[in-house]
Structure 1
Amino acid sequence: MPSRPLPPPPPPESVRAWPDRESLLADRARAMGELSRLSMGASRLMLLWLMATGFAAGWGLVGGALKTFEERPDVLSAMFGVILACMGAGFLLPTGIVIGLGIRRDKVVRERLLQWSSLDRDPTTDARFRSPGLSLCWFVPSFLLCALGLWLSIVAPAQAEPGRETYTHVAVMMGLGLILWLTGLLGAAKAVSHYRWAVRLLPSSTA
């Protein structure tokens, strides 16, 4: 899936050729605005949740396959279990790769955002990047996902009863809880990181 190209990093200090400070600030504002949208836009949050949902679906299918094998199936049931396992891998592998690439891309976006913001200060432009509402839109649902995932990971093994819940069932529930927790952690960490960057940027620009 093609991704939107990132703004390039600022040129090295030895080859910078802005005719005046206004030109530098204009390029800085454009790059920071684009990088902020690529990092904290609503589409990025939706993509994170979509990939986490696909990964969770794949894990659920693998769990269904393991449960089938655990029950000592006949040939037909074993074949069905293999099909479930293949379908689960079909979800897990691509979504896992996309999540990994997204984390690496976010790191590059963060580095370039820091590079552009360190070039100069512009109180008028920098004030719009604080956007606490956007950070809250990332943080609140991500925190709730963390809480739900942690609860699920703890409650599943704690409430398991011998002879009623199998080891596979407990493992699947704990895995789903871990997926929710990690997804929420990624979102919450990004929200906190962006807000801390914006808070550091503004006092220096308004001093």
Structure 2
Amino acid sequence: MSPRPQLPPPPPPVEIRAWPDHEAMLADRAAVLGDLVRRHISVGRLALLWLCAALCAVGWSLVSAAMIALQETYDIFGAVLALILVVMGVCCVGPAVALVAVTVRRDRDIRRLLAAWGALARDPARDAGLRMPGAALAWLLMSYALCALGLYLCFAFPATDEAVKETYGLVALVMGLGTIAWVTGLMGVVKALAHRRWVMRALSGAPAPQPLFSADGGAHR
């Protein structure tokens, strides 16, 4: 397996910047920001988040099946089956949770780099492609729908007459799936809003300071 691509470095301090002119700096800024934005808000990242949520849902379903098995069968065979199901469920949930934790930390680093590179200058022509309104809207709407579904499963379903008649294991299954959906959707909504906030601050805010390069390519002192 090939190693995961490393994040680009932050922009160098003013005193050691080696760009030959302002246009070269803008080109590097656009390339780095384009890479960071794709890593942060692409539809592929949304699919990865939902894949982790699906793996968590499978794991919780196995754990809930173990609870149901213990409720229905109290012999040694039921206990062994429940233990097997719990182990399988943990094997599904553990990697998914670990991957989400790594992704959250990586997203935090990406947002810091986005803020640092975005603050270098303003480049309206190139910045237009960094807004990615379609991808951000997909994150927001799909995550909002998943949040609504999760809240319904967590609160509305347990109060129905059907839920009262079912076993505790089934109710725990539905509420657990609802919690997974709600947390996943909330993460998506937060990321979509964070991208929108970055666009407003870095790409649509006040004009950046004057460039550090003069028209003849020399750096301003």
TM-score > 0.5 by shorter chain: yes
Please list the CA deviations of residues 154-206 of structure 1 after superposition, one character each: whole Å capped at 9, or x if unmatched: 12321256872222222221111010011111111111111222133224359
Which of 187, 201, 204 is the equivalent residue of 1:202?
204
What residue is the counterpart of 1:149 in the other structure?
150
1:159 equivalent to 2:147? Answer no
Partner amino acid for 2:204? Answer: L
Contact 2:158 2:164 in 1 (8 A): no
Q: C-alpha separation between the residues in 2 aligned to 1:3 and 1:153?
A: 36
What residue is the counterpart of 2:29 in the other structure?
28
Equivalent residues in 2 for 1:53-202 (5 A)?
A: 53-159=54-160, 164-200=165-201, 201-202=203-204
Q: C-alpha separation between the residues in 2 aligned to 1:25 and 1:163?
A: 62
Contact 1:130 1:199 in 2 (8 A): no
Equivalent residues in 2 for 1:15-54 (5 A)?
A: 15-54=16-55
Partner amino acid for 1:101? Answer: V
Partner amino acid for 1:129? Answer: L
Post-superposition offset of 1:140? 0.9
Contact 1:136 1:191 in 2 (8 A): yes
Q: C-alpha separation between the residues in 2 aligned to 1:168 and 1:122?
A: 57
Choose 65-74 or 139-148, whichever is displaced more. Answer: 65-74
- Which ranges of structure 1 fall in alignment gaps of 5 or more residues? none
Structure 1 runs (4+) deviating above 4 angstroms are 160-163
Alpha-carbon RMSD across the aligned residues, in angstroms, is 1.8
Q: C-alpha separation between the residues in 2 aligned to 1:144 and 1:190?
A: 15
Partner amino acid for 2:15? Answer: S
Contact 1:122 1:205 in 2 (8 A): no
Partner amino acid for 1:170? Answer: V
Specify whether residues 90 and 195 from structure 1 end up closer, same or farther in structure 2 by C-alpha distance, changes over 3 A only: same
1:58 partner SS: helix
- Which ranges of structure 2 fall in alignment gaps of 5 or more residues? 209-221
Q: C-alpha separation between the residues in 1 aligned to 2:97 and 2:113?
A: 25
Number of aligned pairs? 206
Specify whether residues 203 and 103 from structure 1 end up closer, same or farther in structure 2 by C-alpha distance, changes over 3 A only: same
1:120 partner SS: coil
Post-superposition offset of 1:150? 0.5
Choose 48-57 or 126-135, whichever is displaced more. Answer: 126-135
More helix by share: 1
Partner amino acid for 1:202? Answer: S
Post-superposition offset of 1:101? 0.5
Contact 1:127 1:202 in 2 (8 A): no
Contact 1:145 1:181 in 2 (8 A): yes
Q: Of the two, which has the highest radius of gyration?
A: 2
Q: C-alpha separation between the residues in 2 aligned to 1:100 and 1:40?
A: 17
Partner amino acid for 1:42? Answer: V
